[in-house]
Amino acid sequence: MGTNERRDTAGLHCLVTGASGYIGGRLVPELLRAGHRVRCLARTPRKLRDHPWAGDVETVQGDVTDTDSVAAAMRGIDVAYYLVHALGTGSAFEDTDRRAARVFAEQAHAAGVRRIVYLGGLTPPNVPEKSLSPHLRSRAEVGRIFLDAPVPATVLRAAVVIGSGSASFEMLRYLTERLPVMVTPSWVHTRTQPIGVRDVLRYLVGSATMPDDVDRAFDIGGPDVLTYREMMCRYAVVAGLPRRLIVPVPVLTPRLSSHWVGLVTPVPAALARPLTESLRHEVVCQEHDIARYVPDPPGLPLPFDEALALALRRVREAQVATRWSSAALPGAPSDPLPTDPDWAGGSLYQDERQLSVDASRTALWKVIEGIGGDNGWYSFPLAWAVRGWLDRFVGGVGLRRGRRDAEHLRVGDSLDFWRVEEIEPGRLLRLRAEMRLPGLAWLEMYAETDSEGRTRYRQRALFHPRGLLGHAYWWSVSPFHSVVFGGMARNITQAAAKGMSAHRGSSHGDHARSPRR
């Protein structure tokens, strides 16, 4: 079959390994949208059950190092995606990667699979393999195993992937957001070619329909070639942070760098070490041949700043629910997923409280919807007043706005120094702070029913810090949360119970008087 001849692509059956991981979890819905059927191989299938696409795929349990489970997963498959790595699992991860890749390639051939698609790492040219970091060396070896196998393979090689949840991006995010002045290793001057996750997924999906005689590796990257220092500086600009001062220190070895990253960021040191070791080498695309088989529409691949803006969009638009709870799910590949690691998605501090209520949900909701304005905030009035005065002093709105209606709220209403962002009558009120803060803040109040049928009040205060000042702000006010937010929860539930008692008393009084009418 010639390179210009494309095979029938209707309803390809795709196997995705690593579907609970960063790329795999985002690839599955893209394959489904492209009209393909998907089977997922997972060691722990329950990790996939909360995805919106879980009911649209077949999930089988197994491990890529286990021949029998891989053989079973390969039956009837046209295209097999290999998106797993033993990164961060100890010194033997290269052996594990090698064994798993061989099992995968052998079973794909035995099952008659038409193509293997692998996402690996971009490696520097003219650098002896023994000089590469173990991380890059292992990824290069896995790619070579697939290319040497009888099944045609597409090996995509990428550097830093820009998207919330990508380990390399999260390291960039935390370093830039938390440190206005950074003493950094010399690798901040190493050039790399980042790529947005949307483009990575586009190339992965397009690889499924490559002609059968294509059996090679492709470098994939965005249009910008940047040093790590330049990426941090541009991140600060896109995120609206003050300019960062970066001072490289040559004496920081990769091992020391990983401990430094582990100290400054929540990215585990075991994961940070192979990433920082890989940054010793310049990784820039040597070709863009992928465009012959997966053409780039106008404006793509995305420039670095646009990919960054998409990765930060969810927080910048204050759509917090889709990242930090499973109440809803993101609609863009650059958005975070609930199955991402706990350290992904940026910092989000929260104060959560729950109390049982001796009242109906209706009575509790009446108190929740009536909050603010003349009714106040049900805790430490002086603290709320002082916070309002301080906000006005720095040019904010303060507490002077009150509320539009004494009893009812709607989305978009101003409520003192909050704005109603979401309201689900009888269940949820979410407020977004419009006071002057070094970050974004929300207050959520829920009227719920527990498993035993009792009314429950749940309250969450959330804060996404902006820069070091944002982190300092949260920790400076957190000692007062038990008074402010704890008192608020107690007083709201008491007000609901009191209102319920008054309603019962009124009803009983009316009933007692009715015979005399």
CATH number for the domain formed by residue range(s) 13-317: 3.40.50.720
Q: Is residue 514 scored above 50 in pLDDT?
A: no
Cross-strand partners of 196: 162
In this predicted model, what pLDDT tens digit does every residue of 339-362 receive, in sequence order?
555 555 566 788 999 999 999 999
pTM here is 0.67
For residue range 48-59, list pLDDT tens digits in order.
Answer: 887 889 999 999
Place of tokens 């401990």: 259
Confidence band, pLDDT 50/70/90 cuts, at residue 364: very high
Which element (helix H / strand E) includes 449?
strand 439-449
Contacts of 418 (CB under 8 A, 6+ apart): 372, 431, 432, 433, 434, 443
Please give the Cα distance from 258 to 271 (Å, whole number): 8
State which H helix or E strand residue 156 sits in: strand 153-158
CATH 3.40.50.620 for domain 349-505, yes or no, is: no
How high is the pLDDT of residue 339? 54
Give the pLDDT confidence of 409-454 residue by residue, as tens digits: 888 888 888 888 889 999 999 998 888 888 888 999 999 999 889 9
Domain ranges across the chain: 13-317, 349-505
Confidence of residue 2 (pLDDT cuts 50, 70, 90): very low
Q: What is the C-alpha to C-alpha distance for residues 517 and 509, in angstroms, rounded to an integer?
A: 13
346, HSE (Cβ side, Cα atoms, 13 Å): 28
Number of Cβ within a 10 Å radius of residue 410: 10
- pLDDT, one tens digit per residue, over 189-246 is 889 999 999 999 999 999 999 999 999 999 999 999 999 889 989 999 998 888 888 8
Distance between terminal CA atoms of the chain? 95
Looking at residues 288-295, what average pLDDT do you find? Answer: 97
Could you check whether the bond before residue 425 is cis, i.e. omega within 30 degrees of 0?
no
